[in-house]
Amino acid sequence: MTTSMLTIPVNDRDHIQGKPHAVITLVEYGDYECPHCGHAFPIVEELRRQWGDRMRFVFRHFPLTQVHPHAEMAAEAAEAAGFRNHYWQMHRLLMTHQDALEPADLVRYAGQLGLDTQWFDHALTAHTFQKKVREDFMSGVRSGVNGTPTFFINDARHDGPFSLEALSEAFDSIVVGDSEPTM
């Protein structure tokens, strides 16, 4: 069985939580309107808490616009917030309010984060950050992503369940596999 690999490595265009040389890099291709991504959100948060500096996390946009009509604009909203250094705060709001992703909701979230709502609304209306969202999407397609959430652990697609137990087990197997034998 061939495992799909991440075709575009984590780089400075990504939004990253964690240290650059963490032993585990978890990349999620996700959709802000996807209920499965909403379910995965607290699991990723718990992994980040448990693994601390040993893990870094990257979220890449993979809006499934045919089934989630608000997903692409929500991703653009995250990128707009990121342009003002509030990406992860907006990410949290979007993941925890998946049932409220209308344009007015997105502007309201921007206001809650202290962002200039007039600028933010214009960025959404003009689709200022659509190119970045589509680049993420295409990188996912090239990496074999066909649904959300899709996780890559250290550049290899994780094809198992995304429960806390399954992801922790996958992390543990990598850490044990990468450790040096002791003498």
Q: Is 23 exposed, middle or buried (0-12, 13-18, 19+ CB in 10 A)?
A: middle
- Please state, in angstroms and rounded to a whole number, the distance separating the CA atoms of residues 126 and 39: 31
pLDDT value at residue 182: 42
Average pLDDT over residues 36-44: 98
Average pLDDT over residues 117-124: 98
pLDDT value at residue 140: 98
pLDDT value at residue 45: 98
> How large a percentage of the chain has pLDDT more than 90?
93
Sign of CA dihedral 89, 55, 8, 141: negative
Chain Cα centroid distance, residue 32: 9
pLDDT digits (tens, 9 = 90+) for 126-170: 999 999 999 999 999 999 999 999 999 999 999 999 999 999 999
Structural domains in the chain plus CATH codes? 16-178 (3.40.30.10)
Q: pLDDT grade, residue 13 (50/70/90)? A: very high
